[in-house]
Structure 1
Amino acid sequence: MYTGLQHLHSYMTYLVLLGLLISLVGALSGMSGNKPFTEKNRKMSLLGLIPAHLQWVIGVILYFVSPLGMANVSGAAMKDSISRLYILEHPLTMIIAVVLITVGYARAKRLQDNKKRFNSILIFYGLALALILIRIPWNAWPGN
């Protein structure tokens, strides 16, 4: 079960990154073209939100079943950079990223001004993407 979850979590990252990029490109296109924020734009924003939330759920489960997660928490583990990455840095950064995506989507849905709606997606999804990219454990990805 653990290995399957680990692979699912690793490969699901591609969907998260793709969804965020599609959402960002759609928001950038709408903002630069001075277009209205339509139902299509809202659904494009969901392409960033839904995979990120699914990935977070898988990550939480993995955190509790993985020998690198909760089972490894100790003072000595905090002194090791790889252990600290899996115990604290990666999970905390990803939680912040998912919160940013959620806030950006909720704001875009609630705001009335089209430009502000696109701007909300651009800023919040962009920040989340940056956080995700800096805290992915690249060395542990399949193929490395």
Structure 2
Amino acid sequence: MYEVVQFIHSYWAYLVLFMLLIASFNAIIGFVTNKEYGSTNFQIALFTLIVSHIQLLIGIVLYFSAPYFKMWAEEGMGGVMSDSTLRLYNVEHPLMMIIAIALITIGYSKHKKKLTSKPKFKTLAIFYTLALIVVLSRIPWSAWF
């Protein structure tokens, strides 16, 4: 089961990253060019929110089924924190991805309350770009390539 979930999590991450890039650039361009916020912009923001939350659910299943999770019992807190690979997979990656998804969720929720286009784009640009930076900072790049 672990291998299947890991495969899905790894390849779904490409979709999340792609959508987060599209949503961030769309929001930045919309803000800078004073575009009118339309249904396409809403759909991009919503789809980014949906795929990131699906990735979170897949990640939670992966986290508890992964061999790295068992290292908490075997190595203890000190052992996990002293090993950079274990720390990345058991602490840094999950925590930072949860923060990124929280940023996406907050940005999406806040943008819906804005009444005009410029503040909508500004809110999405800030929160989605911050989420993109957080995601890029803690992707285990060695496992991707």
Deviations 1:104-139 (A, max 9, x none): 011111111321110111110000000100100111
Q: Which residue of 1 aligns with 2:132?
A: 129
Structure 1 residues not aligned, in runs of 5+: none
Aligned partner (choices 95, 105, 113) of residue 110 of structure 1: 113
Query: What is the Cα deviation at residue 25 of structure 1?
Result: 2.2
Tell me the TM-score normalized by structure 1. Answer: 0.92
Q: Which residue of 1 aligns with 2:90?
A: 87
Alpha-carbon separation, structure 2, partners of 1:6 and 1:111: 38
Structure 2 residues not aligned, in runs of 5+: none
Name which structure has the greater RCO, CA cutoff 8 Å, separation 6+: 2
Q: Which residue of 2 aligns with 1:78?
A: 81
Query: What is the Cα deviation at residue 61 of structure 1?
Result: 0.5
Count of residues in Structure 1 that have an aligned counterpart in Structure 2 = 141
Give runs of ≥4 in structure 1 deviating > 4 Å. none
Q: Which residue of 2 aligns with 1:29?
A: 29
Q: Which residue of 2 aligns with 1:9?
A: 9
- Letter of the structure 1 residue corresponding to residue 97 of structure 2: M
Alpha-carbon separation, structure 2, partners of 1:116 and 1:104: 11
CA RMSD of aligned residues (A): 1.1
Q: Which residue of 1 aligns with 2:38?
A: 38
Alpha-carbon separation, structure 1, partners of 2:141 and 2:35: 37
* Contact 1:22/1:47 (8 A) holds in 2: no
- Percent identity for Structure 1 against Structure 2: 45
Tell me the TM-score normalized by structure 2. Answer: 0.92
Query: What is the Cα deviation at residue 21 of structure 1?
Result: 1.3
